[in-house]
Chains A and B, each alone.
Chain A
Amino acid sequence: MAEPIFVLDDVGVVLGGKTLLTGISFSVDPGEYVTISGPSGSGKSTLLRVLATLLTPTSGTVTFAGRLQSTYEKTAYRRRVSYCYQQPSLFGDTVRDNLTFPFHIRHEHATDAQLTAALATMQLSAEMLDKPIIELSGGEKQRVALARNLLFTPQVLLLDEVTTGLDADTKTTVHRVIEDYHRRGTTVIAVTHDEGEIAVAHRLLTIEAGRLAVTAA
């Protein structure tokens, strides 16, 4: 058995005097597809943000690939463990600004071909590239945001209800892209209420009031 990619030991988060997570312990193997569900406000997004180093736990430890999460350089870590926000927002002026950003932070140059290919996987047309972001629909924004996370293949993909609000066809497209990355080795941890998505996953974690409830096989 390979070394787990994530080991959480008794992780707790207290924020502004409010306990958001308590006693969270579980591990994830490399290449696993784990889904997380639970009622609204139970702490699912909070857990993903902890995994993404966007929120530092108040207690307990998170180990990533054999090393304490806190020992990683944050930018390098976040490029390996990619988090997609539940309600993503695009920045800059155009779709292009968003898609070139991951290249820019790596001091790389993006070709139009690379950018339109990324749009195409999300079934977005090449004309979309120079469209002002204020003219995009909600579902288009969501897909551009996801494409932004996938331009450089992450080791772990943390998805926070990324298909919520998409129509059935678009959902299928997005699921296919995610499964594609998963098949090529990306570990996926997805918060979702989508039955289809839960069905393809290896494991379902349920969170209730900040605690881990059931771990189904």
Chain B
Amino acid sequence: MNQLTVTPTALLFAVALVLIALIISWRQKIGLEKDLIIGVVRAVIQLTVVGYVLTYIIKVNRAGLTLLMVAIIIFNAAWNAKGRANGIPHAFLISLLAITVATSTTIVLLVLARAIAFMPSQIVPISGMIASNAMVAIGLAYRSLNSQFRDKRQGLLERLALGATLHQTAIDVVREAIRTGMSPTVDSAKTVGLVSLPGMMSGLIFAGVDPTKAIMYQIMVTFMLMAATSIGSTIAVYLAYPQFFNPDMQLRN
């Protein structure tokens, strides 16, 4: 293994990098100083806590504890996705269901295929990766639903007036929202390796793993994220679009 230790002194120097960002924000009147500071403080605290928690979970290596950690990750992801729903009713429960199904089916398939082992050091990071990608996909899908229901309102009203069911009324909107949710994953799959060396692969190479082995993992991750984001955005969009209508099959304001 390579020598992989960032010393506290090295981190202190990294603070200088934050200062550069702060100075730019301040000089250019971008107004992000407060967010930057909050972001830095949160990142330090959250990552420190997670570091210790993961160390503990990996050390005790209990299935129950591993699953609890996965549940917490999913819960947080759902909470975040809800924040991007901009008032869609039941967005938290919808996101929770979508992310749970997306994460668990993908994980179960990976474990069954023996691509990963059911041990905390593999299950927890992979779940985090899946859940966060599903969260981003669902957040984008929600945004797409909101903007389409606003921009295409008159056309949707016309369809309802012609006697269409909710599904017949919204099908184009639904498809577009799912597509929007999946597009970052599909786009990044197209450029993976050419533009970016994704986190998983970079991490493995960094840790001294042979790049040809690292890419095997990355290929797996790419496939798994495609599955997870399509499952997640499809479930979320199908549960969310009816929320834009009232029980009398009219569009809500």
Contacts and interface: CB of A to CB of B under 8 A. Distances in A.
Nearest to B246: A56
A104 B158 contact: no
A76 B253 CA distance: 24
Contacts of A148: 158, 162
Given A90-B155, A104-B168, A54 B250 contact: yes
Nearest to A78: B163
Nearest to A158: B161
A168 interface: no
A74 B245 CA distance: 13
A91 B163 contact: no
A105 B162 contact: yes
B159 interface: yes
Interface residues of B, number: 19
A145 B163 contact: no
Interface residues of A, number: 28
Contacts of B250: 53-56
A89 B159 CA distance: 10
Q: Which of A88, A91, A102, A149 has the most CB of B within 10 A?
A: A91
B159 A78 contact: no
Contact of B162 (A53, A55, A76, A79): A79
Contact of A85 (B157, B163, B164): B157
B168 A91 contact: no
Given A91-B152, A91-B155, A105-B168, A82 B161 contact: yes
Contact of B248 (A74, A79, A92, A145): A74
A75 B158 contact: no
B71 interface: no
Contacts of A76: 163
A75 B248 contact: no
Contacts of A79: 162-163
A53 B248 contact: yes
A64 interface: no
6 closest A-B pairs by CB: A91-B155, A79-B163, A78-B163, A89-B154, A74-B249, A83-B161
Interface of B: 152, 154-165, 168, 172, 248-250, 253
20 contacts: A53-B249, A75-B163, A78-B163, A79-B162, A82-B163, A83-B161, A85-B154, A85-B158, A89-B155, A89-B158, A91-B152, A91-B155, A91-B159, A101-B159, A101-B162, A101-B164, A102-B162, A104-B168, A105-B163, A105-B168
